[in-house]
């Protein structure tokens, strides 16, 4: 009874606060929106049509203030992006682009390379250095592809099971990009459903293709959705240019290097500088996900279920951990939760899909290419290595340390106990 009273009083308080907010003039609402962060602004915009209208109409006056409230490192880390975007209106598209640039800034700042000369030192370019824009802009291009791959899965998971089934059957008849494919395929499937809604299932060729227990069997629906997502993603990758594929592979490898596992092994320097430094750690503790010692480093080889889960989520979990004031272990907790709520068969389906997608990406780029920086076009490599050599020649900048603000970002995703050598990577 007391819980119901508390719930009713809480809902009444929320309604009163909402009605009081809507009574304010538009000019005051605009000033309130200017003082919000991007999280609060997006949530406020969903509460009522009037608030959404005020935010949309005044976005060019609001988004600039919201960006400064959200990104504490904005002036030093992504000032180059702000300067390049001055010709663009400061709308929500501009604000969303800053989100990608912030994520890329964290990734580039935490990137450390071990040169191939065998000396015990690490090289890197901090994100608050203007020279990091060369690499950061390349990473942003890859993150945009990751977002598109994630958008495919969100569209499929949010659709009706029958729509997923018919879309999968019609997949090979379309040669457009995934977003257009989904938009064109959806009306086709729903029109077929409407035309045959009064017919008895199983009496027409259209219904004979549907398994009898499809709507009742969640495993069958899950399998169809996974195959459909894989097919759409493969079709999308084949439609990309070679340079775009290199950007995706480069961004994925950098993003995955943020995750530290107990199976991290030494990296060969035969192909040039290695991205990550070997951190000795004991092979003890539980085996997370599908990581097994006898299978080698499945996560680094692109053969883990985690890759598929991260693509489904996109960059949301990293964004919430790095800038959303969530738990420093938010990404780890999210992956463990997603693993626990799925069956062993679902793990196997998604892992096999991740392996096929990774194999296609490597075949479309270069299957034996191991040096990450070979992904960057030659012009980009020259500029990048000019910057690296400057750090190499300076004794004070042999290891370029991050700014104090950037070191506060909870970037690590630990699936092992932190060791003393990890502190050297800050």
Q: Is 358's pLDDT higher than 70?
A: yes
The contacts found for 403-409 with CB under 8 angstroms, 24 or more apart, are: 403/73, 403/76, 403/126, 403/127, 403/128, 405/72, 405/73, 405/76, 406/73, 406/77, 406/105, 406/106, 406/109, 406/126, 406/127, 406/128, 409/106, 409/322, 409/323
Q: State the pLDDT confidence band at 179, using cuts at 50, 70 and 90.
A: very low
Percent of the chain beyond pLDDT 70?
50
| Burial class of 242 by CB neighbour count within 10 A (0 to 12, 13 to 18, 19+) | exposed
Please give the mean pLDDT across all residues of the chain. Answer: 68
DSSP state for residue 285 in the 8-state scheme:
S
The pLDDT score that the predictor gives to residue 272 is: 39
pLDDT tens-digit map of 257-311: 888 776 665 443 333 344 544 455 555 556 677 766 545 566 777 778 889 999 9
The pLDDT score that the predictor gives to residue 90 is: 66
How far is Cα 291 from Cα 300, in angstroms, rounded to an integer? 10
- Which range among 83-87, 123-127, 248-252, 367-371 has the greatest average pLDDT? 248-252
pTM of the model: 0.74
Pair 282, 262: CB distance under 8 Å: yes
pLDDT tens-digit map of 181-195: 444 444 333 333 333
Pair 73, 406: CB distance under 8 Å: yes
The pLDDT score that the predictor gives to residue 143 is: 93
The pLDDT score that the predictor gives to residue 311 is: 92
CB within 8 A of 161, min separation 6: which ones?
A: 214, 215, 221, 224, 225
- Kind of pairing, strands 259-261 and 413-415? parallel
Percent of the chain beyond pLDDT 90?
5
The pLDDT score that the predictor gives to residue 320 is: 87
Q: State the pLDDT confidence band at 160, using cuts at 50, 70 and 90.
A: low
Mean local confidence (pLDDT), 124-130: 70
């Amino acid at each position: 009874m007391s819980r119901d009273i508390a719930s009713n009083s809480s809902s009444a308080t929320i309604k009163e606060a909402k009605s009081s907010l809507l009574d304010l003039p538009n000019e005051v609402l605009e000033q309130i929106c200017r003082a919000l962060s991007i999280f609060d602004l997006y949530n406020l915009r969903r509460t009522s049509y009037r608030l959404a209208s005020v935010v949309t109409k005044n976005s060019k006056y609001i988004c600039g203030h919201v960006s400064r409230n959200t990104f504490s490192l904005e002036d030093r880390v992504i000032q180059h992006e702000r300067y390049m975007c001055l010709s663009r209106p400061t709308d929500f598209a501009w604000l969303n682009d800053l989100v990608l640039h912030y994520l890329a800034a964290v990734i580039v700042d935490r990137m450390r390379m071990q040169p191939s000369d065998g000396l015990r030192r690490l090289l890197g370019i901090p994100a608050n250095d203007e020279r990091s824009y060369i690499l950061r802009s390349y990473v942003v291009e890859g993150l945009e592809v990751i977002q598109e791959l994630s958008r495919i899965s969100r569209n499929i998971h949010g659709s009706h099971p029958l729509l997923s089934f018919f879309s999968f059957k019609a997949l090979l008849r379309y040669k457009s990009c995934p977003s257009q494919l989904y938009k064109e395929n959806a009306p086709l499937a729903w029109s077929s459903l409407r035309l045959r809604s009064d017919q008895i299932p199983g009496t027409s060729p259209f219904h004979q293709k549907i398994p009898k227990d499809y709507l009742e069997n969640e495993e069958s629906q899950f399998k169809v959705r996974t195959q459909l997502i894989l097919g759409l993603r493969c079709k999308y990758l084949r439609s990309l240019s070679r340079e775009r594929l290199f950007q995706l592979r480069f961004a994925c490898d950098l993003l995955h290097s943020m995750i530290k596992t107990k199976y991290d092994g030494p990296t060969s320097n035969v192909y040039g500088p290695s991205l990550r430094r070997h951190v000795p750690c004991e092979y003890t503790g539980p085996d997370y996900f599908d990581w097994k010692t006898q299978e080698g480093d499945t996560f680094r080889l692109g053969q883990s279920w985690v890759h598929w889960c991260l693509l489904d989520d996109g960059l949301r979990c990293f964004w919430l951990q790095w800038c959303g004031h969530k738990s420093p272990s938010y990404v780890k907790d999210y992956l463990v939760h997603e693993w626990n709520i799925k069956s062993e068969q679902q793990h196997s389906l998604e892992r096999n899909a991740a392996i096929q997608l990774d194999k296609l990406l490597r075949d479309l780029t270069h299957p034996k290419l191991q040096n990450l920086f070979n992904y960057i076009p030659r012009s980009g490599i020259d500029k990048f290595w000019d910057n690296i050599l400057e750090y190499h020649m300076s004794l004070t900048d042999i290891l370029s340390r991050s700014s104090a603000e950037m070191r506060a970002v909870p970037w690590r995703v630990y699936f092992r106990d932190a060791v003393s050598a990890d502190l050297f990577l800050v």
